[in-house]
């Protein structure tokens, strides 16, 4: 997360104020795509061994040498070997803005709820560490999501990347792609050499795409029709 945000500030000329040992290489569009691929690959492994992370977010991904991503903070991770699902019965703080609808409603966690969180993490990557659901109060989020609200496409994000995010946010868990499929998708995107993201500072720092949730709900019918055509399989 710190690396993403420093990449954002370095893009607007702050590198000149840093000491040589403080200078980092800003993230490139390919870096962001590589991060998504690495994280989805790591989550594929967790899913394969029947572990649910439950707190997948940019803040819980460490960046090692050579820009290698390491998934961390397994404090909420649970073994779901028996039935592929974990029902949370105890009270405690939970990462609401990264949680799937079924987790918010019924405290149910599966690999597919981790996929939802991964979609939010993708949004964090694309916006270089912006806070998800800007302007949305946590206590209002569930009702907004249930009504059909989803974060809109950042201006610097291609429709291809945004479609992947949206597929992670399907209401029904079975409709979301498994991590193995997401990993294969990112592999193809890395191989085709296309830039799916614009990290030009003038676009990254533009916050006009953060439309209010109510505005999006007012347009929900037309948005639903558009995305139904894009995502229906």
**pLDDT tens column, 113-128:** 999 999 999 999 999 9
All structural domains of the chain: 2-10+26-231 (1.10.510.10)
Q: Are 187 and 31 in contact (CB under 8 A)?
A: no
Mean pLDDT of 145-163: 96
Mean pLDDT over the full length of the chain: 79
Residue 80: per-residue pLDDT? 42
Residue 225: per-residue pLDDT? 33
Which among 149, 156, 96, 150 is positioned nearest to 128, based on CA atoms?
Answer: 156
Question: Using 50, 70 and 90 to split pLDDT, how confident is the model at 228?
Answer: very low
Distance CA 193, CA 144 (A): 37
| 159-168 and 111-126 helices, crossing angle to 10° | 150
Given a cut of 50, whether residue 182 has pLDDT beyond it is yes
Residue 101: per-residue pLDDT? 96
Given a cut of 80, whether residue 83 has pLDDT beyond it is no
**pTM of this prediction?**
0.78
Question: Using 50, 70 and 90 to split pLDDT, how confident is the model at 91?
Answer: low
| CA angle, 129 then 132 then 137, to 5° | 140
Share above pLDDT 70 across residues of the chain, in percent, rounded to a whole number: 68
Residue 232: per-residue pLDDT? 31
Residue 85: per-residue pLDDT? 41
Distance CA 93, CA 95 (A): 7
Residue 203: per-residue pLDDT? 72
Given a cut of 80, whether residue 102 has pLDDT beyond it is yes
Instruction: Output 147 or 6, whichever has higher pLDDT.
Output: 147
Question: Using 50, 70 and 90 to split pLDDT, how confident is the model at 220?
Answer: very low
Mean pLDDT of 27-43: 96
Q: Which residues are catalytic?
A: 55
Beta strands in 163-226 (DSSP E): none
Highest mean pLDDT, choosing among 40-49, 80-89, 127-136: 40-49
Instruction: Output 56 or 225, whichever has higher pLDDT.
Output: 56
């Amino acid at each position: 997360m710190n690396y993403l945000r420093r990449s954002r500030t370095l893009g607007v000329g702050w590198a000149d104020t840093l000491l040589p040992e403080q200078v980092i290489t800003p993230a490139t569009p390919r870096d962001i795509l590589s991060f998504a691929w690495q994280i989805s690959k790591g989550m594929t492994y967790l899913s394969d061994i029947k572990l649910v992370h439950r707190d997948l977010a940019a803040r819980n991904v460490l960046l090692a040498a050579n820009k290698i991503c390491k998934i961390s903070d397994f404090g909420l991770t649970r073994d779901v070997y028996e039935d592929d699902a974990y029902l949370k019965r105890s009270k405690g703080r939970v990462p609401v803005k990264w949680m799937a609808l079924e987790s918010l409603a019924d405290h149910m966690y599966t690999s597919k709820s981790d996929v939802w969180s991964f979609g939010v993490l993708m949004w964090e990557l694309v916006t270089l560490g912006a806070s998800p659901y800007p302007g949305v109060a946590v206590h209002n989020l569930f009702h907004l999501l249930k009504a059909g609200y989803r974060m809109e496409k950042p201006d610097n994000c291609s429709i291809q990347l945004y479609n992947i995010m949206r597929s992670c946010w399907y209401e029904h868990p079975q409709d979301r792609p498994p991590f193995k499929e997401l990993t294969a998708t990112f592999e193809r995107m890395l191989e085709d050499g296309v830039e799916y993201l614009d990290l030009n500072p003038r676009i990254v720092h533009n916050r006009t795409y953060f439309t209010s949730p109510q505005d999006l709900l007012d347009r929900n019918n037309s948005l639903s029709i558009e995305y139904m055509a894009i995502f229906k399989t």
